Structure 1
Amino acid sequence: MVMKVYSPEFKADAVALYLADPSHTFEGIGKDLGISRETLRNWVRAERARHGGGSTTSTEKNTVDSPPTAEELQAENEALRRELAAVRKENQKLATERDILRKATKFFRTRDDLVNRFQFIEDHHRAWGVKRLCAVLEVARSSFYKWRAGRAARAARERADVALAERIRAVHAEWDGTYGRPRITAELRDDGERVNHKRVGRVMRKFGIAGLRLRRRQVTTVPEPSATPVPDLFRRDFTASAPNLKYVGDLTYLPVGDGEFLYLATVIDCFSRRLVGWSIADHMRTELVADALRAAAATRGSLAGAVFHSDHGAQYTSREFADICDQLGVQQSMGTVGTSADNALAESFNAALKRETLRGARRYDGVRACRLAVFRWTTRYNTRRRHSANGQQAPIAYEQRSATLTLAA
């Protein structure tokens, strides 16, 4: 049996994925990544050791315990009693904090912001005290007392916001809901209202008033006008008779913040739908798609004689990418400009990845969370996720079964 060799990047990502959530288990993550739990456990131990994780020293191993004396036993008993008392006190404290958090669950069900926490403390300080509540809810007492002192001013501001919201709604309705913050601010000023656009925007958000705004599509396919024409060798035929003959690839965006994105480049085998190579970065330069193709070459050992199909993005039509294809012995193929159906397999893969990792969310919770989610999903996609084109088999399992049937024949 051939021993698998994992890259340092794969090991680092596997350890990071396990440590990202305390609920993760070696067995669960190991199954997802197609490795044994002992292998993952060893990687985690090695990582912890590199960062100062404790281990038994040779001095401790060689120490021979002598029989304890009566005084030592008595001292040990006293220490255990003190420890027990401390544990009981801590348990009581935790029970109180649990009761507080249970009570706060309904209070924070809609949203949890600092003002909500202050209000909860105000409503329940007689039962548990301001000090304990501030500690549990991680609020500075000075901030709470400052908030409490400003109640009258907040009430006056709330009444003013309600009045302004009514005037904003009138302008908004007059213009059939098409006006946003800038135009509404201008209308109010023309009517003699002394208000700035920031306050208008805040009140509109607070009362759910929004102008007509069409979501701009994030463009990742930008044709290169000076590129040498490349023929379409696929003609929408995304099947192959064997692995390592036909590949498709694409570049897609992954939203990680307000207007911020990571970009994912992929290389997919048409025979098994296996993700053979991929690369993720915070840019769309040609090196991103080049790294994905090199990763595919490293996975397969060689891509010589294979055909790689893509859209007409500037990255794929660049001279740099053409040179890399020549170096790897890959022939390029491209569909029609502006027709996503000509690269439907890659588009379908991107849609599935986003649908199953975002799960309805508009964006990932930061760059790290995005990278880990993509790493886990792509690994599971190859090793465990069933694919309809493969008779509900995972891509790697489908390739292995096909190889077995070929040898048997």
Structure 2
Amino acid sequence: MRLVVQVKLLPTPGQASALEATLRACNRAATYASKVAVAKGLKDRNSLQREVYTDLKAMFGLSAQPAVRTVKKVVDAYTVLKANSRAGNLGSPTSKRYRRAVGGPVVFRPEAAQPFDDRCLSWQYDAHTVSIWTVDGRMKGIRFSCSPDQLKMVVAYRKGESDLVRRGGKWFLIATCELPDPEVYEPVDWIGVDRGVVNLATTSDGTNYQGRRLDRYRRWQARKRAELQRKQTRSATRRLARRAGKEKRHATQVNHRISKEIVLDAQRTGRGIAVEELGGIRERVRLRRDQRGNLSSWPFHQLGQHLAYKARKAGVPFLEVDAAYTSQRCPRCGHTERANRPGRDHFCCRRCGLAGPADVVAGVNVRDRARSAWVFVTAPAPSP
């Protein structure tokens, strides 16, 4: 499996200046190569590299390998753009977003991430330093900081490129690590996980991870942003910039904590983890205007991603099952009716009288569907 490790760089002022100049030069070169690619219809790597390689070295001060990495970054950007347009992620072809995305060449931000391979970047793990190519020459002895677990992972499993990133005035290296997949054990049972807005996650065991605290935090952040935006001063603008991403990081940390606890519980008891398949829910559900903000900021997809990769890393079986009627179906008699759920928090079967918390009942239904689905997943293929 592939994971990324974020390592913080601690450059001196002189080193930071050289890194900034390098990022800006590489991204100016990438924008130039992007314009050439559109003007001459060169979207494959070899033809674009033959066209712009000499110019990138002469006009922007790049050496051989950074110029090659810059061309690859441009080609990858157009590959991603094409995939997003085909998948409909940019909206319909008549939408403003779609026309803006495909109507001209890709433009790279001055401080966009730049990939470096082992010819441009070397690691000195014992000294906690890196050596990296810059427009001012090879910059050696740039210190980095990370946790012991991160360092072990980078030393043992780092593979391929590492991206140089500047975020909030701080410097980072994003290293890609290829970890071997552990063997997935045969589960004795399943933990069904129901995801929601009021309760971020509820398991079939009855464990409930409430979202009220996160919701209060988001409303507080929204009020603070509105207060600063109304001031319209330079100081308020600086404070808004400092606060940018804070709410997102907080929600990510909450999802990490929840997913870690669920995976550890499954690993300890020898069970698997099952969640509802919620792809396209924003397109399927129609909400009132005052509810749309909550749904758009609902971190259910990220929680599912965290559960999936943590389970895979631990060798825990993971399944996504059909989400249809999990909150309306009685797990005892199978009766499915909207009236089975008279309120958001309560479930009461109209046929057999089974009652309980609605989210726990949904988690039990997810667990039961995983039991059935696993039989088909592990069944041997029929012989020809």
TM-score normalised by the shorter chain: which range applies?
under 0.3
Structure of larger gyration radius: 1
Q: Calculate the TM-score normalised by the size of structure 1.
A: 0.20
- Of structures 1 and 2, the one with the larger relative CO (CA 8 A, separation 6+) is 2
Q: Which has the higher strand share?
A: 2
Q: TM-score, normalised by structure 2?
A: 0.21
